[in-house]
Structure 1
Amino acid sequence: MKPMQARHRALAFTLLTLLSGFGAAAHAADAPRPGGLQTLMIRSQANGTMASHDGVVEALRQTVIAAQVAGAIVQLDVKAGDRVKAGQVLMRIDARAAEQAATASEAQAQSARAALQLASREFERQQQLFKQHYISQAALDQAEAQFKATQAQVNAQVAQLGLARTQSGFNIVRSPYDGVIAELPVNLGDMAMPGRALATVYDPSALRVTANVPQSLGASLAGPSRWLIEIPGINTADTPIVPTGAQLLPLVDASSHTLQLRLNLPAKLTGVVPGMFARVLVPGVPGAAPALRVPRSAIVRRAELTGLYVLDAKGAPLLRQVRLGAAQGESVEVLSGLTAGEQVVVDSAAAARIR
């Protein structure tokens, strides 16, 4: 009987051990997340009232000023970011060769004028002699031809002089209109060559936002009042910019099936420059794609990185880069980098401390 009792005791001990293991596993599954982080399950939300399209700020007038003559840059009066007036001198190119060419052309023109005076007097004398029947008609014709040839040479020399003077003016680079120096890729002493870019000027009073929109929106949204503009750092979706004009180019891109939309910005917007990122917001668009929205407190901004903390398979917060869309109140739309059903940490600062 004693061996049988020993077997029963061993079996009971084994069962007790297994039950205690299952209890520990269940306790671990119910353990709170590290640091008590508050999370939010991301769900798709209806987005039938607002659609967003990425765009860029452009200048209606932007000019690349290029050199028309060769020579070293001997004077540079502006730098990038300076405001300039129409006709203001931006830089000067060494003009000694052009000035010498103009001087030579002027001397040749004076010589031609002197020759023309002599030919004119000779022709007058030949006409008087012909009237007195001292010379033949052939001699008179020869004198007239000599006079006309000399006159043609004078016209050619005067035209050459005008060309030389015009080319000497190319050595002075001026601003074509009131604007801002956007780029200055040359320095004092650099060699200017015909066609080389010397400066880029744009007019800050006339800016626009250009974006590509689906062709399905083109027919229904033709007026500027149907579009709104958000420029991060300048305004938000709660205070959008209303464009002063809109233009849909009548050409559909065959690869993306989109139309190019151009929205004119109001004049005198502070801090807006060409190249800035912008969003074109389309209110009242039926059937817009579902949106993923997260609270503003979940967003992490570090230099050029925009992201949020998402729980991985082990429940640990993992920083992930995302691309944001329009903001509405205390929530922000996530365009990419996040999928429905994922857990997002609401307090990004708390998640950073755990990491």
Structure 2
Amino acid sequence: MNYEAKMFAEDGQKALPGEEGRSSRRWWIIGGIVAVLALVAAVFLFSGGSDDGAAADKAAAQREGQIPTVTVAVPGRQAIQRVVSGTGSLAARREMPVGVVGEGGMVTRVLVEPGDWVRAGQVLARIDRSVQSQTVESLQAQVRVARADAEIAQSELDRAKQLVDRGFVSQADVERKTATRDSAVARVRVAEAQLAEARARNNRLDIRAPEAGLILTRNVEPGQVVSPGSGTLFRIAKGGQMELRAQLPEDDLQQLHAGVPAQVSPVGTDQVFEGEVWQVSPVIDPQTRQGIARISLSYDPALRPGGFASARIVAGSNEAPMLPQSAIQSDANGNYVYILNDQDEAVRRPIRAGEVSDEGVAIVDGLNGNERVVLSAGAFLNEGQKVKPELKTLR
């Protein structure tokens, strides 16, 4: 009976009164199950979507964390001095060797020492002149004799002129006495000239300073016999002026001219002396390809001729970007830096470096100064790599 009733209901025919209640409850159960499943699905979908968003946010954060932070700067342009450096020896700017001018003889006294200042004409050493003094006295006596003879000849001529009008003396006698007087006067002049010559020779016996300056060396002692072949007895720095003879490559010499300022630092001292180039060598050594720039210096005890010193010569100035050395990279293709484009991506830029100083490296070609240049970590970047810039101001 139940089987038939169920079949009858499934065929869409009218069910029996008892069967209708059970069918209604069954549909309610099915609807509840479907609603529960829909709710579970909605919760699952919602929770799954949240997890995907969180994962996406996490991945984005990870990607953000992988972008390196680099320090960049806009260098601009500034006045940069063109500096030429060189080394060389100190010397007197005008060194004057002093030797024997006269006959020479035995040195009796030396009146100066190295380091003394002398004036022009000052006696540096005295030579024995005992023999020469006797010669001068002899010549002085000859001068006196010649003057006496000239006075007698003049007196006789004057008396003859007074007597010629009375007829006691002929005109021929007057003329002879005139000639005698003229000869006596001439002998006086010869004797005086010989005396002056002897005195001049005696004055030249002493060794004298030709110009005012500083005594550098002394190569004579009392008791030494000197002559014109004895060589240099003293060396004098004219006016005490010194110079540095800096050895420079020929390309550096091309940048220099007389009058440019320079700083000189002698070895063994922290002192720096101001000077200027007063002469640039017109000749280049064909072996070393170097020339000499002569830098004039005022006297100072620390400037000793023969000493070694370094020079820093300001050859001029120009405007260029200045970067720290950490910003410059090098490889087989030359020097380069990394700059950032509008997307903060690293772009390689070839450069040509110029003057290197304590302030940094001058960039003479490759940058105009308006770029954002990576100051550090350039060795770890790649072309086109995204970075996070941190701007720094250069001094």
Among residues 275, 279, 291, which one is paired with 1:247 in the alignment? 279
Secondary structure, in 3 states, of the residue corresponding to 1:153? helix
In structure 2, what residue type is equivalent to 1:145?
A
In structure 2, what residue type is equivalent to 1:105?
L
- Contact 2:95-2:237 within 8 A present in 1 as well: yes
Confirm or deny that 1:142 pairs with 2:173.
no
- Contact 1:224-1:243 within 8 A present in 2 as well: no
Alignment of structure 1 residues 168-187 onto 2, 5 Å: 168-187=202-221
Identity level (%): 25
Among residues 90, 93, 97, which one is paired with 1:60 in the alignment? 93
In structure 1, what residue type is equivalent to 2:309?
A
Aligned length: 237
How far did 1:57 drift? 1.5
Among residues 253, 260, 265, which one is paired with 1:230 in the alignment? 265
How far did 1:85 drift? 5.0
In structure 2, what residue type is equivalent to 1:280?
A
* Cα separation, partners in 2 of 1:201 and 1:103, compared to 1, 3 Å: same
- Contact 1:225-1:242 within 8 A present in 2 as well: no
How far did 1:84 drift? 4.2
**Structure 2 equivalent of residue 273 of structure 1:** 304
In structure 1, what residue type is equivalent to 2:259?
P
* Cα separation, partners in 2 of 1:90 and 1:242, compared to 1, 3 Å: closer
How far did 1:49 drift? 6.4
- Contact 1:80-1:184 within 8 A present in 2 as well: yes
**Structure 2 equivalent of residue 315 of structure 1:** none
How far did 1:246 drift? 2.2
**Structure 1 equivalent of residue 242 of structure 2:** 207
In structure 1, what residue type is equivalent to 2:126?
R
* Cα separation, partners in 2 of 1:78 and 1:226, compared to 1, 3 Å: closer
**Cα distance between partner residues in 1 of 2:174 and 2:239:** 68
**Cα distance between partner residues in 1 of 2:103 and 2:247:** 40
**Cα distance between partner residues in 2 of 1:77 and 1:206:** 22
**Cα distance between partner residues in 2 of 1:133 and 1:261:** 88
Unmatched 5+ stretches in structure 1: 1-47, 287-326, 330-355
Per-residue CA shift, 1:177-208, capped at 9, x if unaligned?
55443222222211011242322222473111
* Cα separation, partners in 2 of 1:244 and 1:76, compared to 1, 3 Å: same
**Structure 2 equivalent of residue 109 of structure 1:** 143
- Contact 1:51-1:285 within 8 A present in 2 as well: no
How far did 1:83 drift? 4.4
* Cα separation, partners in 2 of 1:138 and 1:245, compared to 1, 3 Å: farther
| TM-score, length basis structure 2 | 0.52
- Contact 2:260-2:315 within 8 A present in 1 as well: no
**Cα distance between partner residues in 2 of 1:202 and 1:76:** 18
Per-residue CA shift, 1:255-281, capped at 9, x if unaligned?
35655422111x343411212222333
**Cα distance between partner residues in 1 of 2:154 and 2:266:** 74
**Cα distance between partner residues in 1 of 2:165 and 2:94:** 67
| TM-score, length basis structure 1 | 0.57
**Structure 2 equivalent of residue 343 of structure 1:** none
Per-residue CA shift, 1:298-322, capped at 9, x if unaligned?
xxxxxxxxxxxxxxxxxxxxxxxxx
* Cα separation, partners in 2 of 1:138 and 1:231, compared to 1, 3 Å: same
Unmatched 5+ stretches in structure 2: 1-80, 318-355, 359-395
In structure 2, what residue type is equivalent to 1:221?
L
Among residues 91, 115, 130, which one is paired with 1:96 in the alignment? 130
* Cα separation, partners in 2 of 1:228 and 1:52, compared to 1, 3 Å: same
Confirm or deny that 1:152 pairs with 2:206.
no
Q: Which moved more, 1:51-60 or 1:82-91?
A: 82-91
Per-residue CA shift, 1:195-248, capped at 9, x if unaligned?
423222224731112234444444532143354433222347xxx543145222
Alignment of structure 1 residues 186-205 onto 2, 5 Å: 186-196=220-230, 197-203=232-238, 205=240
* Cα separation, partners in 2 of 1:274 and 1:131, compared to 1, 3 Å: farther
Secondary structure, in 3 states, of the residue corresponding to 1:188? coil
Which structure has the larger Rg over C-alpha atoms? 2
- Alpha-carbon RMSD across the aligned residues, in angstroms, is 3.2
